[in-house]
Amino acid sequence: MPRVTAPQVSPSGAVLGVPGFTALADSEWARRLELAREPDPDGVGGPRLWYLLAEFGYLLEPLRRLYRGLFRPFRLAKADTPRMVMILPGFGTNPIRMRYFARRLEDAGHTVKRWGCGYNWGFSDDLFDRLEARLDDLHARAGEPVVLVGWSLGGLYARELAKRRPEAVAKVISMGSPFSGSLRANNVWRIYQAVAGHRVDSPKLASQLSSKPPVETVALWSPRDGAIRPRSAAGYPEERDRAVALRCSHMGFSFAPEAIRAVAREIEQI
């Protein structure tokens, strides 16, 4: 479950740091509250409560990282073929949340770049225009297709980008991304609707989220994911090229050594 940072509100009622938000009237706040309280029309539900509660274990990650740094340093082997990699963060987070992840890939020799859109507050009208421009720029600078690594909601953007710009994408690696089945098969869709201001299935994209991009597409998923239903993140054979099971939490996709190693292996296999 990606950490959702509460938007800051100015004295005038404007929500700061959230693209697309202006001063919100009481009626707008009420509308968003109603979106958050909607019943689930699909009736699918998310992972079990125990897995959701276990996600808060990420608060101990700084201590684990300190321990590993002192006694069990985590390093990746140098990449045989360094690549340009763009990381796309999960909902409610920004690339800083994946800085440790990015630095480990950089230590292996890859060039890791942010997505260039700040916090991920959900779909907006100009988001994909900005993402396409960012991808085109990185593609030109690298002189070869770029690897897209998307965590949670970021993985959905990565898949859609690859459908729009397949010539610029070497591979898509999604991590705990709900591209298959109902977009309500998770424990965070109500939070998304309240923050983004629209229903989770309202954005009109060029194609169905479950349709496979025309490039190699790998889905990393975990049976211990407390935010996204495992089947939604693993998908079906026709929706991705491969699905790789890990044992980390949903938050763990952004820092767990096994997740970083899995991504590094996938990049090496291009």
pLDDT in tens, 153-179: 999 999 999 999 999 999 999 999 999
Three-class DSSP category at 269 = coil
Least confident of 122-131, 141-150, 182-191, 237-246: 122-131
This prediction's pTM: 0.88
- End-to-end CA separation in angstroms for the chain: 29
Predicted confidence at residue 26, as pLDDT, reads 78
Query: CA torsion sign, 196 to 200 to 206 to 209?
Result: positive
User: How much is the pLDDT for 262?
Assistant: 98
Backbone angles phi, psi at 147, to 5 degrees: -85, 130
Helix (H, G, I), strand (E, B) or coil at 146: strand
Domains and CATH numbers, the chain: 49-268 (3.40.50.1820)
The pLDDT score that the predictor gives to residue 64 is 80
DSSP per residue over 74-117, as a string? --PPPPSS--EEEEEPPTT--GGGGHHHHHHHHHTT-EEE--SS
